[in-house]
Amino acid sequence: MNFIVVGANHKSSPVEFRERLSLSKSRLKDAILFLKERSVLEGAVILSTCNRVEVYASTRESKAGIKEIEDFISRYYEIDRNRFSHYLYRYEGKRALEHLFSVACGLDSLIIGETQILGQIKIAMSLSEKAGFMDETSFEIFYLAISFARRIHQSTRMSEGKVSVGSVAIDFIKEKIGGLTGKNLLIIGVGKVTELVVKYLEKERSNVVFISNRTFDKARHLAEQINAKVVRFDEVKQYLVKADVVISATASPHFVIKKETLSESPNHKILIIDLALPRDVDPVVGDMENVDLFCLEDLVTVIERNKEKKAREATRLKGIIDREADRQWQRFTKLEQEVALLR
């Protein structure tokens, strides 16, 4: 048995490609069942986040398994292989294990040291289990990765400081407009990203309004934490024109802010931060007068500072991951050989 991964992340592909591959939780279930239809893979986990879409799998034949995953991407998303092949990385054996460890620890993330990825891995693993597509090898490897990442978070300084999307976004906004005190801030969407934003807004003296469509009660709960107002999505236009800053982070598969949503160019400067994937805001909105539009990958100044601060710790962690992956893969190889002898 071998372990493989085929995927694309923020380093290997543009946001437009990752948008095309991005999967909501409901679509993720459908994609797993679609992948399961073919018999080459023994088990698989699909990890889809704002920074990556990856398929991890156990297979008896690595080349056939990698080809199967590429076929899945082509068939499921209806994309010609020649249009996406160059965006993909393909790892097998110890290298695939090493990559999973790096992802689980937050070392391969856009924001180095972030811990949200660990919860996303658990969800992806759980969905594969429920679909009956988690074999013994995949289960053990993912269990190892999760346990290893927990130890790393406890024993290193990688997760210290501001390592969430929320903290990066707030720091970026402050740099752009000089602070949030007295500013009208509009937050669209209620989810994990919004929760992280709220955590860093508690000390700010801004006028915050939450916009929510489906999970209104959750929006109200978050609003209460920072004494903010909450309204439904059909009121978005009237609050957009009043906003100084807009943070959008929904799970919508379509744009929630288009050029016509603003009706016409606002008469004051509006800073819009789009933290969603697929993106919430039509890129043409950024061409409007008085509108500055940024997505997560644009927050490079804050992200690079974070990388610089953690460069030494990251180098040390790479060494730890390499040694652990090597040790675990040798153990797997030895077990495979022992099982083969017993057959």
The reply to whether 9 and 117 lie within a common domain is yes
Among 48-52, 181-185, 227-231, 308-312, the least confident range:
308-312
**Which tokens in the block code for residue 132?**
């009956």
pLDDT value at position 203? 77
Catalytic residue among 44, 50, 57, 198: 50
Query: Residue 129 sits in a domain of what CATH number?
Result: 3.30.460.30
Handedness of CA 212, 214, 220, 226 (dihedral sign): negative
pLDDT value at position 264? 72
Q: State pLDDT tens for residues 240-296.
A: 888 999 999 998 888 999 988 887 767 889 999 999 999 999 999 999 999 999 998
The reply to whether 131 and 243 lie within a common domain is no
Region label for 132, one of left (φ > 0), alpha (ψ between -120 and 50) or beta (otherwise): left
DSSP state of 180: -
Please count the helices (runs of H) and the strands (runs of E) in the chain. 12, 10
pLDDT value at position 155? 87
Q: Where does the pLDDT of residue 7 fall: very low under 50, low under 70, confident under 90, or very high at 90 and above? A: very high
pLDDT value at position 89? 98
Handedness of CA 143, 149, 153, 159 (dihedral sign): negative
Alpha helices (H) along the chain: 15-21, 25-36, 62-77, 94-105, 116-130, 136-155, 165-177, 192-199, 216-225, 236-240, 300-309, 311-342
Give the structural domain span for 85: 2-156
pLDDT value at position 340? 52
Q: How far is CA 112 from CA 46, 158, 310, 314, in A?
A: 22, 7, 8, 8
Query: Residue 177 sits in a domain of what CATH number?
Result: 3.40.50.720
Nearest alpha-carbon partner for 297 in 172, 152, 159: 172
Handedness of CA 151, 155, 158, 160 (dihedral sign): positive
The reply to whether 10 and 146 lie within a common domain is yes
Q: Check if 105 is active-site.
A: no
pLDDT value at position 134? 95
* Residue 176 clears pLDDT 60, i.e. is over it: yes
Helix 94-105 to helix 311-342 angle, to the nearest 10 degrees?
140
- The answer to whether residue 295 is domain-embedded is yes
* Residue 46 clears pLDDT 90, i.e. is over it: yes
- The answer to whether residue 312 is domain-embedded is no
pLDDT value at position 160? 76
User: What is the reported pTM?
Assistant: 0.87
Domain count, the chain: 2
